[in-house]
Each structure stands twice: as structure tokens, then as C-alpha cells.
A and B are shown apart, each in its own frame.
Chain A
Amino acid sequence: MDRKGRPDVGLKLNRRQFFKVSAAGLGSTGLIVAGLAPTDAHAEVRQYKLTRARETRNTCTYCSVGCGLLMYGLGDGAKNTKAEIIHIEGDPDHPVSRGALCPKGAGLLDFIHSPGRLKYPEVREAGSKEWKRISWHEAITRVAQHMKADRDANVVATNADGVPINRWLSTAMLTASASSNETGILTQKFMRSLGIVATDAQARVCHGPTVSALASTFGRGAMTNSWVDIKNADFILVMGGNAAEAHPVGFRWAIEAKKQRGAKLIVVDPRFNRTAAVADHYVPIRAGSDIAFLGGIINWLITHDKIQWDYVKAFTNASALIREGYGFDEGLFSGFDEKTHKYDRASWNYEFDAKGEIVTDPTLAHPRCVWNLLKAHYARYTPEVVSNLTGSPVEGFLLVCQHLGETAVANKVGTILYALGWTQHTTGTQNIRTMAMIQLLLGNIGMPGGGVNALRGHSNIQGLSDLGLLSTSLPGYLTLPNEKQHPTLETYLSANTPQALRPGQLNYWANTPKFFVSLMKWFWGDKATKDNHWGYDWLPKWDKMYDVLQIVEMMDQGQINGFIVQGFNPMGSFPDANKVARAFAKLKYMVIIDPIATETSTFWQNHGDINPVDPAQIATEVFRLPSTCFAEEDGAIVNSSRWLQWHWKGAEPPGEAKSDQEIIGELFTALRDLYRKDGGKVAEPILNLSWAYANPQAPTPEELAKELNGRALADIPDPADKTKVLVKKGEQLPGFATLQDDGSTSCACWIFSGCWTQAGNQMARRDNTDTGLGNTPGWAWAWPANRRILYNRASCDAAGKPWDPNRRLIAWNGEKWAGIDVPDFKVDAAPETGMNPFIMNPEGFGRLFSVDKLVDGPFPEHYEPMESPIGTNPLHPKVVSSPTVRIFKTDRDRLGKHTEFPYVGTTYRLTEHFQFWTKSVRLLAIAQPEQFVEIGETLAAEKGIHAGDWVKVSSNRGFIKARAVVTKRIKALTVNKQTVHQIGIPLHWGWETVAKKGHLTNRLPPAVGDCNTQTPEYKAFLVNLEKA
């Protein structure tokens, strides 16, 4: 595995070619000397430019498909050569991408060499108009001093109840979803030791709702199946996403299903988009009305008896009884408090028997069983009601119902590909929930070719979610302690260690203490002892969630002084950018860690009406620290299918850029030195933090990856035979099953345990053998325990036989579960034990009724976006939008009305660009050079707008100016008897660019988020349109 992860197969051929080239060189030189060459015209192809270039394996840094890359560097690896990357193409061995790359991946070379790359540490002093180059030493020293001063002044040691909370809110930090797991986990350690709770990663503005929706339904918050598995589908619905546009290479497997299986593909979207261009059918929909559409499907499936009954009865909570008192009336579920706008969720729960187990009615006759409640809830969603709310034609809606309905049998499977079109709504979580319920009704969960496939955004947004880089999270989907609910370790563990709710369930979260104690041992090493509750008091405790909207609100209120921004561009990506700019200007210091120049780092620069600020009025000190990009570092990132793929460094970073690990390492050690030298408030968590890296200023990816896996701190005895040792002291753990709650194991992220065992780095594995159905268990490593399709126990019936013999993933062989995938189940639990397939849920069921897991209801209900184009909710006019929305007063005042802003604006990505980075990539700037908005022909004609005209789109919060793309692909819809026009607004523009300068699209959308996760509502808001 020289050539960094690449088997040495090409070498012989290459050498041959090399000799050939040399001979040719000699030959042609001779000809030139003889004076013959110019007239003797050779017919020669351009020489192959990679013959002896050094090849390095890497993973694409943009999206979560995680395509394999081969990077080619100048020279053959000799020491005297600087291996600048000269070419990047797809890795043909990669099971998902198979050599393909989308335009962004294909243009990575221009990202690495972008003129926007940062090369030296810089500072922008208060009120200054320009950057000043500084040394790393000065940068780190000044930042550390700022941080310490702010922390000493503002960290809160204990709350009013005397609970140690180590909470430092006056400095916030954003973390990078394109950075590696190793950077992520180091950042987690760094932040929490300091007490930072005001923190978020891109997951917040992206797939937050996916985690809450899927976890509350199935037990885990991740894409259920894998990219390649999409090829096993018979029907593919793309709704709430635009897979061809945002995940082109993953989408290849949908095309494969079409070609090989004759699968049908339907797109439901406000725009006839690039996915629709290759779909069998396209159905238009009004942005923000997805629950109406999906709820209508549930109703149709029930009334047409398109239910996979055996599956529903065995594996879902359809038969469970819900306690008395639960109800839904006029848009409100039981338990609503008008004052707080919150629900008391006590009534949204199962009826338990004396043993604390769920009461069920397998006949589904009981009026309070989930099935009957479900039926009643969605009976209102008739096709006509659906069409009236969504604007979708009834025929189109029925087409989707029929196609989905056909998969309600054992040997037909349908899948859904969605992304931010569902998450970025005030009802984001419930959008996804509705689809998850549909898939349960159809028996499509756990099945090859089925699932609810959340197509994640950034290349490692899955990893950063897994690592808990969110305000109230810890690694492995453990929660950060809450000061009220979990004042002590005991209260924390008891609240987070559920009891099984049905007999014989695996109830995997019963192991929470093992995960948590091992995590604490990782945080504080030897300093974490049983006596000090494993350092529990040092962990910061939260009082409320400090998501990005909350953080900006606090900045705007002057409550935050410092802002550390690691690989994130909030100026571009947060909603209501005018408010964001105003908030940033109130900061005392800002620290940017990024490979490229971002609008955030230059929010203080004036760019005319694109950024109309006065630098002299902005006193924020901005430090800009150049970091490496993917090509210049080792590490692993997690793709949407939960694969941890290791990648290798192919070149040195430009200028003085350093890896994030080095930057965090230097910053932490500088801070620790200050605390050691000068003392300071709540210093213990910092001074006691385990930082046992060979070079404390630069922890290596290998060291950190091994910590993610975890190791034994003492000999671990075999539970079956106590005389034997399962894992010797100091050895890497084989997996999370060996984690202990007695402090004898240390593990930074329990779900990643197994990624770097005694056998070595499992994430670096590159065996692409297909064990069947496109499953490649030898390629990299997937959490949990290298399982590739989640809930795969549900691919078999109650007796353990595959529902579809042609989709045999695993099966009960009389002794254990076995097959082509790692069983997502207790391997030796026989079908007769009645253990249910959803092992993370204490009842083992897939939840049609999500009980009390979500804040806005156990069943999804259609609510209008905060800015509704019809201004009412025909289902229940008294409750128009979601009653549990959290919105700050300043933001509520900035909402617009449909009378003034009559059109629905919806923002989205283009396939040529990735968020706000790729405008700095020349190849992509060429492919999509300038900001535009998409307008339907009818609306354009009304306004006298022609293709290519400049238009101004404004909301109650701001405006943008862009070119008009006038298209047949957006049609006016009739909603509640009104004509509704939608305007499509791609989001990629700004002023740090090699493309044409453009406005920040997020000047337009409101700062309000999904009720459960606060993921902002970028997808449906009101705008006006005029010719500019």
C-alpha cells in the first residue's frame, strides 16, 4: 500500500510507458537537430501526463456521498520534489463512485489551488479596512489571551442551585462539517473543557431534523440504507430533495435501478429540476406543504389497504395502546400551553401495564391503539384536500400513491431520497417523520432497496453529528448533561438509560453507562475516577439549546464577545444575513480557521450594495488562521451511509497553513499554559484534561483515530469465562461491546468503536468485493459495528425468513443471524424470543406514533410556513403555523405578509457549486458564473421580465439582485383557490469569489427554525419581485 492506500498495480505499465516516452524524446530531439522536425509533421497525441506521478487516495471533501479520489502529485515521491497536486480523478475501485465525480469533485484541483486559499495568519484590527499579516506565535498568543480574558470574566462555575455547570456562553464556536473526525473529536475535547455550550456545526442548518425524526421513529438518526443499495429499489420517490443536483454520484444508483430493474422514479418538487429531467413523472408542489402531501398518502394507503400487514403488526407500534387523554383537535394536540407555546407531552405515551410494559391490542380493534388513532388523524387528508393545500394536481398525487402502494408487498420495495427540501422548514422533523411512517406501513424499512434515505450535506456532517458537535450533544448521540434534569451523574445515567418496554427487547441504550464512563475516561484520563464521578462536574451543563439562531440572537443582544469559526461561513449560511452582519459587528473578537477566504472573515468589508457596511464603525478584531484542506491531511470522514473512510495526505499545505489539529493543539496548550501560570476561573477541567499526545501542540490523526475507537485501560475479562482476558490492558478495543462502566475502558465515541482495532485501521480497508446486493463490507468501516443496512433484521419476517428471497440480506439459520451484512441485531437471539428489530428503541418497534420524543406532536400535522402565501390553514384556520415554533421577538417583527410579499421564495443548491466555497473554484465559476433566480414564464410575463434581465427579489428582511432565468419548469399553482407563484433562489454567491460577485441569498429567509431542531426555514418564505 505505498502510494498512500493505492495498491501498486499500475507501476509496471507505467514504467514501460516511461521508457517509451524517453525514447521518443531522444528521437525527436535528434530530428530537431537534423533540422527535419518542423516540416516532418508527426501525428502524435498529447503525452499522458500522469505516467510517473505520485498517486494518493483521498475522499471528496464536498458532499456526503464520499466519492473516492485519486490525487496525482508532481514527482514520484522523491524527497527533493514538492508534490503539488496536478490532477484529481475518481477512484475506480470505490464501490459508490466507481471512478465518477460530479462537477465539484472533478474540479477539486482548482479548490486546492484556489486564489482564495489562505496562506498566512492575519489580523484585521478594530476599525481597520485591511488585513495585516502576523506570525503564528502572535496569532495564537493574542487569541489565547482574548479567550482567557473573556472566560475568566464570564464562565459560570455553578448555577443558582449550586450545581457545577462550567458554562462559558460569551464565546461561541462553530465547527466544520468538512473536517475530519479526528479534527472533530479534538475540537469536542477542547470546547467542552473550556465550557463552551454555544456551539454548532453545519448539521444545524442542514440535517438536524433528520436525526430527530429518524431517531424518534427507528432509534437512530442516520440514513438507513447505503448509496449502492438504492439500486435494489423498485420504486424511487425523490421529494424534499434534488438528488441528481445535490448528490449526482449517489444518484447514479437510482439510475441503475431504473436501468437494471426497470424501477420507476417520481419527483415531487416545487421546480422541475435536474432530477425531474430523468424521472418518469414530475409532480409540482408548493414549498412548505409536504406533510399535507405525505399525510394524504398515508390516508390513501389506509383506505386502499396498501399496507404490508405482517410487517406493520410485527414490527411497528400499530398495536400499542396510547394512554387516555391523548387527543388532537383543531390543530392542537393534547397538553398545549397557550402561554409557553409548549406541549405537556405526558399524554402522548403508551399505556403501560403493571410491569411497566406496553399494552397492545394485536387485533388493532381498540380505539386507542396507534393504528386507529393514525387512521383517524389522516382521514382528513383526502386527495382533494391535499391538492388544495399543495397545489399538486390530484392525478399527480394519486400517481405517487399508486406507485408507493405497489410496494406494500413482500417482494416490492420502494425508497425515498430526500435532503434539505424537507429539513429546512419549521415542520422539518415532521416532514421526515411522515415519510418514515409511510415506509413502515409499506414494510420498506430494513429492506435492501428501501429505507428512508437522508442524503446528508457536507462530506463529514454525518461524522460531526456522530461526534456530538452540537450545542447539547456529546459523542455517540449521548446528550450533554442538562443542569436541571441531570445535576449529578446518577440523575444523568438514570434519565438516559431506558428500561425495555416489551419483553425480551435488546434495548441497546441500556448500555449508556458504559458509553458514558468510557467517554469521561477519554476526556479526563486518570483524573476521571469513580470518586469524582468520572469528572462529571467538569462537563458543561446546558440550560437551553444554543443553536445558531440562538447564538446570533445573543450576539445581537450583545451577550457574546468572542466567536470562533472553524471551517464554516455563517455570514453566507445563516438566515437573515442582515441581522447576522449586525450581530457580528458587536463582537469583540472573531477567530476564523479556514482554508479559504470566507464572507464571514470579511464581513466588515464594504462591497457596495452587496455588503453595505462601514469598516470604521466595526470594532471587531478578526483573526484569520489558514488551515489545510482535505488534500493536505490524513484522517477519516463519514459519508451519508455511515462509512468512515480514511484518506491520505497528497501534498503540503500552501504557505504557512496548518492543520486544524495543530491549530487547536497550539491554542489549547497556550491556554493551558496561561491557566497554569496565572490560574483562572474553573481551571480544573482545562488543567485535568487528558492531552497525552506525543506532541501536545500537534496531535496526529492516528492518535485521535485510535482514541475514537477506544482502548482498554486495564485487562478486560471475558464475561463468559472470567479467567480469560478479552482485551489486554493498553490494547485497542475490538468494538463497543467490550466497553465497560467501571473506568477500565476509554472511548471517545462509542459508535465508532471498531474503527481502529488491534488489527489496525479498519477505515483504511479498500476491499471492494461485492458480497451481494451491492454490499461491500470490506470497504472502509461503517458504524455501528460495520453494519451497512440499518435495521436489517426487519428484512426478514417474524420467523426470520427474508420477506423477499431475492433480497436476502441476513436470515436466521437456526443458530444465529447471518448473511451478507452484519446483523443489526443480537446475533444469537432466535425469532421466537420476540425481540423486535429496532434495537435502539426500548420497545423494539418502529414508531408510527412517536410518543413523547418530539416537541410538536406524535403524529405529523400540516402547518403553514411562518410566512404563508395563503395566510391561513384550511385544515384549522385558528392554528395556521406550527404552535411550538420558537421565534425571537426581533425576528417575529421581521416576518412579512402575503399581501406585501406575494410570492413563495425557496432557496437551493446548484450541482455546479457547493455552498459558499466553490465560487472560489475557477472551474466551477466557469460552469455557473453568476447569481440568478428562476421565475416561471407566467410570472415573468406579468412582470415584463425576460431571460437574462436583472431582477430584485426582496423579503421583509432584505433584498438581492440577480439575473432572471425564465423557465417553463416552474408553474403557477392554485392553492386554496389562489394562484401561487414560486421563485427559485440558488444560494451560492457572495463577494469572496472568482465567479461574478453576488448578493448573499440568505439576506431573504427568516430566522426561525424547525420546532425540534431549530434548523432554519430556508425553503419557504415570502418575497416580492421586480425588475431591477
Chain B
Amino acid sequence: MIRDPKDLKRYTASERANHWVVGMCFILLALSGLAFFHPAFFPLTQFFGGPVWARILHPFIGILMAVSFVSIFLRFRKLNLMTATDVEWLKRSREMVTGDDHNMPEQGKYNGGQKMLFWVLAIGMLLMTVSGILIWRAYFHFDITLVRLGAVVHAGMAAVMIALIFVHVYAAIWVKGTIRAMWYGTVTRAWAKQHHRAWYRQVTGK
């Protein structure tokens, strides 16, 4: 990859690191969580040194992810406030998915989809953390109904989040030139102009 000094800075190193901490945690949590969720995934526990280690590590990784996500949330929450344009974008997202982005409204740093993801993940993280603590038997003892509710919420929300992260990852793969923003922080001006024109204008002054 040729790095051009004229590329636009999209993420600072600290933001990228923060993202990847959350990302790695998420992957580990998904792998271990799925192992406890359905027997088909149980062998995944071997990645963690066996099922008991998977059980022990999972909640601690969860705590790490929750804390890291709080930082992400604080960094990006303002940028993810929804605007009328975002709603318009969301309405037209089907066109985008089918490959035609000509009619999409101009986007700032994040498009409506990304913002949606941000907020759903934020709520999901909260629910996962709370329900996770409810079912963390090694340290907590809550009323059995709460624990049961926690188990359902944790499992259901986890499924939703994993699905969303699939979309998130896929979107990064699908939209070429995106992943490098999280690797070394920059995107090409063309990429920015194409996908986040409002942001492009803002940072380039054009």
C-alpha cells in the first residue's frame, strides 16, 4: 500500500488502539460465549485452554471490553448524534447495499448506518455488562429470576451483537479502502470524498 502524505487522518493511534482492544475482546467473548451457548461451538473453548479457562476468562474479558467501550463511547458519542441527513441516508440504504450510491445524501464522518450501529452497540454493551454481572456466579448472587432474565438477555443480546459485528466487519471489507482507517489511521481523499463527503469538505476545507 502506498502511503500518501495527502491522505486524510481519520483515527488517531489512541483511537485505533482503543478500537482494537474492544474488537479483540469482542472476538474472544464471542468465541467463548458461543461455546457456552450451543454445543456445536463448545470446541471453541480449546482456544482458551479448555472450557474451565474459557468460563473463568470470559467475564474478565467482558469487563475489559466494557471499560474500553466506555472510552470509545466517550470519544465518539458526539460524532454519532443522528441528524436528518442520517435518516435520509438510512431510508436510502437499500440502494446503497444493492450497489448504487449515487443518490445517497452527503455524509459526515459517519453515515446513518454507522451511527445506528454505534448506538445499538452502546445499548448492547450496557445490557451485556449488566446481564453478564447478573450471571457471574463466581462473584455475585442475585435473585434467581434476575439471573434467568440475565441469561436470556445475555444470550439474545450477544446474538444480536455478533450479527451486527458481522455486518460491521463485512461493511469494512466490502467498502474498499476502509480497513486501513483502523490499521494506520488514514484514508485516501478519494475514499473520503466518495463515502463521507461532508467530512471530506470539513477536513480539507473544500
Contacts and interface: CB of A to CB of B under 8 A. Distances in A.
3 contacts: A38-B50, A39-B43, A39-B46
Interface string B43-61: 1001000100000000000
A40 to B, nearest CB: 12
Contacts of B50: 38
Q: Is the interface of A mostly helix, strand, loop or mixed?
A: loop
B17 to A, nearest CB: 36
Contacts of A38: 50
Interface in A740-796: none
A981 to B, nearest CB: 40
B133 to A, nearest CB: 29
Interface string A5-46: 000000000000000000000000000000000110000000
A149 to B, nearest CB: 66
Contacts of B43: 39
Interface in A35-68: 38-39
3 closest residue pairs by CB, A with B: A38-B50, A39-B46, A39-B43
A39 B52 CA distance: 12
B100 to A, nearest CB: 50
Interface in B29-72: 43, 46, 50
A301 B156 CA distance: 76
A43 to B, nearest CB: 14
A32 to B, nearest CB: 15
A39 B43 CA distance: 9
A39 B45 CA distance: 10
A38 B43 CA distance: 12
Contacts of A39: 43, 46
Nearest to A38: B50
A39 B46 CA distance: 9
Nearest to B46: A39
Nearest to B43: A39
A38 to B, nearest CB: 7
A18 B132 CA distance: 47
A199 B135 CA distance: 66
B66 to A, nearest CB: 31
Interface in B102-150: none
A68 B46 CA distance: 52
Interface in B1-47: 43, 46
B20 to A, nearest CB: 31
B40 to A, nearest CB: 15
B45 to A, nearest CB: 10
A872 to B, nearest CB: 58
A948 to B, nearest CB: 22
Interface in A104-141: none
A1009 B69 CA distance: 80
B48 to A, nearest CB: 14
B205 to A, nearest CB: 61
B93 to A, nearest CB: 45
A484 B50 CA distance: 88
B47 to A, nearest CB: 13
A880 B110 CA distance: 101
Contacts of B46: 39
B35 to A, nearest CB: 13
A39 B44 CA distance: 12
A36 to B, nearest CB: 13
A52 to B, nearest CB: 34
A828 B43 CA distance: 85
Interface string A820-852: 000000000000000000000000000000000
A39 B50 CA distance: 9
A494 to B, nearest CB: 80
A404 to B, nearest CB: 51
A38 B50 CA distance: 9
A385 to B, nearest CB: 57
A286 B50 CA distance: 66
A672 B43 CA distance: 80
A438 B43 CA distance: 77
A38 B46 CA distance: 11
A1002 B46 CA distance: 63
A248 to B, nearest CB: 35
A930 to B, nearest CB: 25
A549 to B, nearest CB: 55
A813 to B, nearest CB: 70
A448 to B, nearest CB: 54
A39 B51 CA distance: 10
A379 to B, nearest CB: 65
Interface in B83-101: none
B199 to A, nearest CB: 50
A888 to B, nearest CB: 59
B183 to A, nearest CB: 36
Interface in A312-361: none
A964 to B, nearest CB: 28
A475 B86 CA distance: 107
A39 to B, nearest CB: 8
A472 B154 CA distance: 79
A38 B49 CA distance: 11
A38 B52 CA distance: 12
A582 to B, nearest CB: 51
Nearest to B45: A39
A694 B46 CA distance: 70
Nearest to B50: A38
B52 to A, nearest CB: 11
B41 to A, nearest CB: 14
Interface string A167-188: 0000000000000000000000
A41 to B, nearest CB: 10
A313 B50 CA distance: 85
Interface in A946-999: none
A253 B43 CA distance: 56
A42 to B, nearest CB: 15
A631 B46 CA distance: 50
